[in-house]
Amino acid sequence: EVQLVESGGGLVQPGGSLRLSCAASGFTFSSYEMNWVRQAPGKGLEWVSYISSSGSTIYYADSVKGRFTISRDNAKNSLYLQMNSLRAEDTAVYYCARVLRGSGYYPFYYWGQGTLVTVSS
């Protein structure tokens, strides 16, 4: 059974940092592109970042570029999101999401349960 389990969320002050983790199991993690998607309270879905299966290709939403860093450790079956210079508008539930198939043009199929990040003083 495929599982994605996020952790690392919490309350942080504006300007602070947080590192999210996503532990993957039930599939060959190193074969799949991964993403982070967030959802502010009462709002819609916003894609945050993408990483290819090898980690060689990375993309960010303009809203987080220069502040967030996505990475993965295929040996540990884990995905990460380092979030620096956090702002109030970064408050959201953060989901890790796996694409439907290994690579290519596919939507997000498996999602974690989400971890809440609250940026507030």
Partner 1 sequence: AIRMTQSPSSFSASTGDRVTITCRASQGISSYLAWYQQKPGKAPKLLIYAASTLQSGVPSRFSGSGSGTDFTLTISCLQSEDFATYYCQQYYSYPPYTFGQGTKLEIK
What token pair was written down for 89?
Answer: 């508008």
Q: DSSP 3-state assignment of 75?
A: coil
Reported as half-sphere exposure (CB side, CA atoms, 13 A), residue 81 has a value of 35
Is the Cβ of residue 11 or residue 58 nearer to partner 1 in the bound state?
58
**CA 75: distance to chain centroid?**
18
Residue 100 near partner 1 by CB under 8 A: yes
50 is an interface residue for partner 1 by CB under 8 A: yes
**Dihedral sign for Cα atoms in the order 51, 120, 42, 5:** positive
Q: Is 45 in the site for partner 1 (CB under 8 A)?
A: yes
Interface with partner 1 (CB under 8 A), residue total: 21
Which C-beta is closer to partner 1: that of 62 or that of 121?
62
106 in contact with partner 1 (CB under 8 A): yes
Residues that bind partner 1 (CB under 8 A): 35, 44-47, 50, 59-62, 95, 100, 105-109, 111-114
